[in-house]
Structures are given as C-alpha cells and as structure tokens.
Amino acid sequence: MSKRDEFWIDGARARRSLGERIDRRLSRLIDAAPGRSRRIVVRGAAARVVTIEIPNDPGVDYVASEVLAQDCYPVVPGVSGIATIVDVGANVGIAAARLRLAYPDARILCFEPNPSALSHLRANAAAVGAELFECGLADADARLPLYAGRDSTVTASLHRHHMTGDASHEVSIRAALPALRSAGVSSIDILKIDTEGAELPILRSLKPMLAGVRILHLEFHSEADRREIQAMIEPTHSLWAGHIAGRHAGQFTFVRADLVPVVAEIGR
C-alpha cells in the first residue's frame, strides 16, 4: 500500500503538509483505474486503525481529502459522552470511518439511498461497526427519483442540478424523526447531514430533537438554504467551524451553546 492511501488523524501523527496532500491527490488521479476499488487506511489516536474500500471516483477522492486530510468534521474539545451519531448521506462510509476513530464507543447509524454508493457502504459500515439503513431521509415517507451524479456518486441528488445527469433511480425515503425513533434513537449526540440540497426537509422533521444535539455537521447548497439552516440552528447552537466554497456551497459545524469551549476573544 502506498503512503497516499493512508491518513493520520486526531494526533496519531503530525499532519501532512499541503504539498504532501496535493502530491498524493495528483498521484491518485494519475494512477486511478476506472471501475476498480482501493483500500485506504485511517490511523487515529491510541493506535486505533480502520481500513475501508473506496471506488476510484474523483468525487470520492475529494471527500476523502476533505474529511480525512482537511478534517471537515472536527472533534470539538471538551465535548464528551458521545453515544449516538447519525450520518445522513453516508455515501461510501468515509465520514463513518472518521467518526468511528474519534468516538470508538458510539452507536453510528448510516443512511444512504444511492445504489451506486451502497455496494461499498455495506462493507465499510460493517468494517467500522456502523448500522446501515438503505434509504434516504426527509420530512415524509416517499419513493422519489434520485438523479445520478454526472461524474461521481457523491453528487447524486433528489434534485436535478448541474452535476447530475438525467438518469435516475427510484429510492426509498423515510420521514427522519419516525425513522430514527423506530431505530430506537431518542436523542442524537452528533448529527451529520450531507445530502446535496436535501438538508432542510431532514432538519424540519428532526426539529423536536435538534435542541439536544451536541454537534451538528451540515452542508448547504444554496444561499437561501444557508440562511434558513442558520435561523433554525443558531437559537440553540453556536457556529464552531466551517468553510464557504462560494455563495451557494459550504459546510458548517455547530456546537450546542452550553458545550462551546471557552476561547479568548480579541478585544474582550
């Protein structure tokens, strides 16, 4: 296994430099064999290791870099007692692997409706000890078309957009709150949602649970969605980290207000 297929997180080793990360990403693109899979090893603190298998897919490579090298789902200092993690839009399981290393004793529930991702996610969920639900979540039960990503499984969406093709699969969608309650979930410690524009219906369904969530990792895909997400979350949570890729794309981490680590403010 080459070094570009290994990641070190949470203090397992000094973080790679930007140059190393770019070199590794370029090497992947040059060496990638379409249609084949490869294994990646993720090493965490206390000698914890998980190994998952991912497709040679440029979008999945981007997610691996974003989640494992750039740490877009950071561990928040001092927030402990994480027992239940809900990963909505789990794709092939990269976020689940990262969260498993950070929270080795947590129950992780992965929701994913995309048949193109499920072939890898089934094995990876088993490898990291996560529970797999082969459906998407929203605010009502339905059978809906899922538009395939034009170049990658990670851009598949319930909404046709510039990164999807015309082809679609009909997939199972469940109302989020009843789905979680039927799985025995009465509270959520970490909620991660990455559903290519379908985030708001999930949040609306989960509204009775949102105030208790300790950490939320949320993507947005339009300025209007960002504004509504912030209006929904900020009465009970504080923005802790994030990245804005443009007016209509970005990712936020919110922490419940009573758990936000104390950080010095300039001028205070």
Tell whether the model's pLDDT for residue 155 goes beyond 90.
no
- pLDDT of res. 190: 98
pTM > 0.75: yes or no: yes
Report if residue 219 sits inside a domain.
yes
- Nearest-angstrom CA–CA distance, 85 and 67: 16
Report if residue 169 sits inside a domain.
yes
| DSSP 8-state secondary structure symbol assigned to residue 153 | G
CATH number of the domain enclosing 110: 3.40.50.150
Q: What is the mean pLDDT of the chain?
A: 88
Over the stretch 35-87, which tens digit does the pLDDT of each residue have? 578 899 999 988 899 999 999 888 899 899 899 989 999 999 999 999 999 99
Q: How many domains does the chain contain in total?
A: 1
Report if residue 119 sits inside a domain.
yes
- Nearest-angstrom CA–CA distance, 126 and 128: 6
Over the stretch 102-127, which tens digit does the pLDDT of each residue have? 999 999 999 999 999 999 999 999 99
- pLDDT of res. 14: 58
Report if residue 202 sits inside a domain.
yes
**C-alpha dihedral sign at 16, 22, 23, 28:** positive
Report if residue 13 sits inside a domain.
no
pLDDT-based confidence at 29, cuts 50/70/90? Answer: very low
Report if residue 126 sits inside a domain.
yes
Cβ neighbour number for residue 263 with a 10 Å cutoff? 7
- Nearest-angstrom CA–CA distance, 221 and 33: 30
**C-alpha dihedral sign at 252, 258, 264, 266:** positive
Strands ordered across the beta sheet of 237-246: 131-133, 107-111, 84-88, 190-193, 215-220, 249-256, 237-246
Report if residue 25 sits inside a domain.
no
- pLDDT of res. 233: 97
Q: What are the tokens at 130?
A: 């996560």
Domain around 168: 58-259
CA 212 to chain centre: 19
Report if residue 122 sits inside a domain.
yes
| DSSP 8-state secondary structure symbol assigned to residue 58 | H
- pLDDT of res. 30: 42
